[in-house]
Structure 1
Amino acid sequence: MLNTYLNNLVKVIDSITEFTGKAIAWLTLLIVITTFAIVLLRYGFSLGWIAMQESVIYAHGAIFMLGAAYTLKHDGHVRVDIFYQKFSAKQKALVNLFGTLFLLMPVCLFIFYVSIDYVLLSWEILEKSKEPGGLPAVYLNKSLILLLVITLILQGVAEIARNILIINTNSQGEG
């Protein structure tokens, strides 16, 4: 019963993370096209717009912030695994479980705690770019910090459930 619930939870969260990661990946194409246009316009026609340049920075921030959970799901974060690579599946699951519980989750909660006022103040004043002709929605960009936390916590819950399933499966197989 618990395993079925955890399995379903992992599937739902993983599908959300997968969709978000694949959707956000398209921003890399937008960055390439926009950067090419910026260079072409500036050096070919002596034209340029601050908003266009800022849009590249915003898109890059969105890729980083919203892609972190996708990277976590695919185990793509940097890891020094001198010992980890030789661990059994159950040992790896235990390391991942404790790492998620005692490192990922507290860091996410800390980031949320220290950034919530920063983001809310930006929304309160509807913060705009300080550059003339810049993008008028800095508050949306700052909101990515909270979305980073939400998506990482959500994927962290999936990782906790996934590792509990691995531990339960291996424990039952050993008994």
Structure 2
Amino acid sequence: MPEPIRLYVRYVDALNYRVGRIAMYLFFVMGGILLASTFSRIVTGVPINWALEMSQFLISAYYLLGGAYTLQLDQHVRMDLFYGRLDARRRAITDAFTILFVIFYLVVLFGGGLSSTHYAIVYNQKNYTAWSPVLWPIKTIMTAGVFLMLLQCISAFFKDVAIWRGKPIT
């Protein structure tokens, strides 16, 4: 593969590795918020009205920012009827073909995310709850997660094509 493609794969993989490792800790932050909320409700009798919604935001950021990392580690769930019986080259051909559909889906999803984030910023969109948080921060994070997943899918496509050609990118 040409050197620019190798550099792209190397940098995207490094970026998504770091983002994924950081995103893993959001789960503990969410657990701390839920624990504090439970403690406050049981001990003091005063519920924390923002805890559930913040937990929902954090779990959304967790799985969207961690999606590219999961793809990088090849840990996504697969329907495996015939795939496991294929040799590495045929698996790469199958993956290179099918990931084009995922890339198309992510491009459409990213476009919708940009539009939704732009709307949230321009109109200062808020959630209709007692806490009423602005939505642009979580929408920005979600759109960034989709973008990172798109970059990782392109990286995976390049890796699969390289394996298909018999010259894997290391």
Q: TM-score, normalised by structure 2?
A: 0.89
Q: What pairs up with 1:44-123 in 2 under 5 angstroms?
A: 44-101=43-100, 103-123=101-121
Shift of 1:130: 2.0
Answer yes or no: is 1:14 the counterpart of 2:13.
yes
Residue type of the alignment partner of 1:156: C
Structure 2 CA distance for aligned equivalents of residues 10 and 23 of structure 1: 20
Shift of 1:42: 0.5
Residue type of the alignment partner of 1:123: I
Q: Comparing 150-159 with 137-146, which one deviates more in the overlay?
A: 137-146
Percent of counterpart pairs with the same letter? 20
Structure 1: gaps (5+ residues): none
What residue is the counterpart of 1:147 in the other structure?
A: 144
Residues 45-68 of structure 1: CA distance to partner in whole angstroms, max 9, x if unpaired?
Answer: 112222233211110110011111
Structure 2 CA distance for aligned equivalents of residues 145 and 59 of structure 1: 10
Q: Structure 1 residues 94, 66: CA separation in 2 closer, same or farther (over 3 Å shift)?
A: same
8 Å CA contact retained: 1:90, 1:170: no
Higher helix share: 1
What residue is the counterpart of 1:38 in the other structure?
A: 37
Shift of 1:156: 1.0
Structure 2: gaps (5+ residues): none
Secondary structure in structure 2 of the residue aligned to 1:76 = coil
Aligned residues: 168
8 Å CA contact retained: 2:40, 2:47: yes
Structure 2 CA distance for aligned equivalents of residues 90 and 55 of structure 1: 44
Structure 2 CA distance for aligned equivalents of residues 32 and 122 of structure 1: 27
Residues 110-158 of structure 1: CA distance to partner in whole angstroms, max 9, x if unpaired?
Answer: 21233433221111112223223343x3111122332132111110111
Q: TM-score, normalised by structure 1?
A: 0.87
8 Å CA contact retained: 2:61, 2:142: no
Answer yes or no: is 1:129 the counterpart of 2:127.
yes
Q: Structure 1 residues 18, 37: CA separation in 2 closer, same or farther (over 3 Å shift)?
A: same
